[in-house]
Structure 1
């Protein structure tokens, strides 16, 4: 079917539709996490949170975009997607599949790269390239957003590559001037230019090899010690929340004789994240106690205490031995 003579969607409609979609995806994810947390526990959810996020996005956009129907955000603003390359509504099946998979699957694979194959030695050139991809994609997304704010087309980088634009079913009022977002585009361009200047200064600065060697040696010599032991040994594995829970009696990082503590008192030693008796206990800056692996896994996703919502810094966790 050829594209009917509908006006192109305005910038405000596209932005509002995207905001509504993000809201509905976030709400759906919260509901799914609530159910999974009740069924499988917090520890399981912390381990598979990225897979849950991927499945939620695939489910939402798979039931809307992939089926050639409007998303809830597009329905809210009365806009439709069409292919600017082929002038057809809706876009082809291949284009719709790409719209669902390209924004989600590559980002998930890059996020799980270190978990799948952690690199403990000198990283290879291939791994260095993969590690720089998220930053490159972020810059390209900001550049595309700046262009969108200026000319009003292609809010997403994937849609620009696939030529997916949007039309509105609401007729334009010739007496009303649509809002302009050009100033936002200019500000984004200025920020990108500043980041480019900082990047060039940092990478073009030439340092003698001797100075570099001294800096590396000084960095290794400044290893922070805790009880005459490097702090790095307390960090445990790369994915501590993925390790199976160990009994409190096997906790080697406590001065207490766990087996001699009465059951009534041991019930008060539970971690509020995994709901099991604490092991490798540590304290946050706000004074709350958790398992080391639990709070590290939480802090990687949210920089706030799960109890009082105070800011959380993983570098300021305090291991304790007598609680």
Structure 2
């Protein structure tokens, strides 16, 4: 009788899968940049990332095979009864929820502020209600981050579901190898779990304190979203000074960053670009990612 997979096997499997997913994403990015140019890639880079992930898990999990990470550590996906491989519908639901749900949720939360700025919304929704909805968006993003971090803490405690998608579909792992150390005592991640819960609780209490103090900001780990940030996200670069546009996303620059050759981009755009090609998108001068210069307070001039 095979035993359930423990945390080390599941974590190593996911790390290995992420390596191959990143390789596939980089390959798709290179193809898109070669055929359509950097601007098209910058516009569709998130969709290409989702496509790369769907292709990888579609050719493995959906097709009924082990992923390269699962094969590396000899674990196998099983249903909640741990007696059979999940059926095709459950495997397809797992891949769609795992790969597409974060992207769709992010697009939805980014679309709501733009929808509130339309004339049709202005006619049907009062300004007070629109402002209230806009303030709820960073709260929702923070809630999603809390759910994810709580889920990870539960995984470190129990070691069953590494992703929310696996918890929702009930897919678990069995260790399908026998060798040295099989059946011995498994390493415990309980200390890491309790540290994660303590950190999560402190972060949540700090955010509640800031909301109660009326600062109007919500922190999600390392990012801070305020009303001015939301307004900047909704801004469209069309109709503004061309000198303020990012050459990659063609919108008003956010968190302006300079390359060693002197060109300016959004921090998010140029770092994602350099993750695949360590060169300037305009003049093709090669440089290391560490040489990017973030221009603090440059956008507030």
**CA 1:252–1:197: 2 relative to 1, 3 Å:** closer
* Counterpart residue number, 2:89: 94
1:19 to 15, 18, 27: 15
Counterpart check, 1:151 vs 2:158: yes
Counterpart check, 1:83 vs 2:79: yes
TM-score (norm 1): 0.66
Corresponding residue SS for 1:102: helix
CA distance in structure 1 between the partners assigned to 2:30 and 2:274 by the alignment: 20
From the CA coordinates, give the structure whose radius of gyration is larger. 1
Shift of 1:154: 1.0
* Counterpart residue number, 1:313: 294
Q: Is the CA contact 1:154–1:165 (under 8 Å) kept in the aligned structure 2?
A: yes
Corresponding residue SS for 1:289: coil
**CA 1:185–1:236: 2 relative to 1, 3 Å:** closer
Shift of 1:286: 5.9
**CA 1:239–1:90: 2 relative to 1, 3 Å:** farther
Corresponding residue SS for 1:161: helix
Corresponding residue SS for 2:62: coil
1:36 to 24, 32, 39: 32
TM-score (norm 2): 0.70
Q: Is the CA contact 2:260–2:291 (under 8 Å) kept in the aligned structure 1?
A: no
* Counterpart residue number, 1:103: 98
* Counterpart residue number, 2:269: 298
Shift of 1:312: 4.0
Q: Is the CA contact 1:79–1:167 (under 8 Å) kept in the aligned structure 2?
A: yes
CA distance in structure 2 between the partners assigned to 1:131 and 1:106 by the alignment: 18
**CA 1:125–1:43: 2 relative to 1, 3 Å:** same
**CA 1:138–1:102: 2 relative to 1, 3 Å:** same
Shift of 1:171: 2.5
CA distance in structure 2 between the partners assigned to 1:236 and 1:134 by the alignment: 14
Aligned length: 259
1:74 to 70, 74, 79: 70
Q: Is the CA contact 1:299–1:313 (under 8 Å) kept in the aligned structure 2?
A: no
Q: Is the CA contact 2:2–2:176 (under 8 Å) kept in the aligned structure 1?
A: yes
Structure 1 gaps, min length 5: 213-234, 244-250, 255-272, 275-279, 319-323
* Counterpart residue number, 1:197: 205
CA distance in structure 1 between the partners assigned to 2:62 and 2:157 by the alignment: 29
Structure 2 gaps, min length 5: 217-231, 281-286
**CA 1:96–1:128: 2 relative to 1, 3 Å:** farther
Which has the higher mean CA deviation after the structures are superposed, 117-126 or 46-55?
Answer: 117-126
